Amino acid sequence: MFDLSWASSLEIIMILRLLVAVVFGGIVGMERGSGDRPAGFRTHILVCAGSALFMLVSLYGVDELSVSLTHPEFRRDSSRIAAQVVSGIGFLGAGTILHEGVTIRGLTTAASLWMVSAIGLAVGSGMFLLGAAATVVTMMTLVTFHSWEKRFAGSSRSERRFIRVLTRNRPGAITDVTGYLADCGIRVKTMNVKTDKKQNGLVLELYIKVEKDVNITDTIRGLQGINGVIALENVK
């Protein structure tokens, strides 16, 4: 159907590896994209395919035969570019974590990006079976283990929530909110404070720990009764 006489057998193999990396990265990316994560379908494809491409360049970017004939003392280290991929993917992963703010909700997505980069390196080096096995393990971890994790978390004595409070910018506004939560037996794990210039207010992003015996619904409603509180968003 397609005339590939213009391409060498090695080039066809490299293109095949790149396409396999696209498939494996897309499989993981579909799961991440379905949950509206900061890195989804296209990002995972690009990371996996890019890693495979880096590995292919590392392996076949230089004609090893001609180099060995002209410079017998030269020994190429094919792992050097792969090592840079492992280091570089950390910057992309950090961006997904920072995107989620104080809740650190992008940590699993950062780990999946790191994993698909490793899958891309494996596929780029010709380890199709290993790449496929790693993809299966990744999907099992993201899909199957996620339901188990939620089940175990449901049996815990406490739960964690992220709430956002908009209050007037006045003295004591922050202490009134945190003091109320402390009186209700709710522990504030982290807090991020932003300024809302349009409404002359403060935006408090709170990551809280709630014990099972605390009625979180009544507590959240009680926040609205604090002097100066304009709006409240309860993000589960």
**Is 21 a residue whose pLDDT tops 80?**
yes
The model's confidence at residue 88, banded by pLDDT at 50, 70 and 90, is: confident
pLDDT at 68: 47
Beta bridge partners of 6: none
* DSSP three-state, residue 77: coil
Is residue 193 classed exposed, middle or buried when 0-12, 13-18 and 19+ CB atoms within 10 A define those classes? exposed
pTM of the full structure: 0.59
pLDDT tens string 178-195: 888 888 888 887 888 888
Question: Which are the contacts of 59, defined by CB distance < 8 A and separation ≥ 6?
Answer: 78, 124, 125
The model's confidence at residue 104, banded by pLDDT at 50, 70 and 90, is: low
pLDDT tens string 107-164: 778 888 889 999 999 999 889 999 999 999 989 888 887 666 666 555 555 677 788 8
HSE of 72, CA atoms in CB hemisphere, 13 A = 0
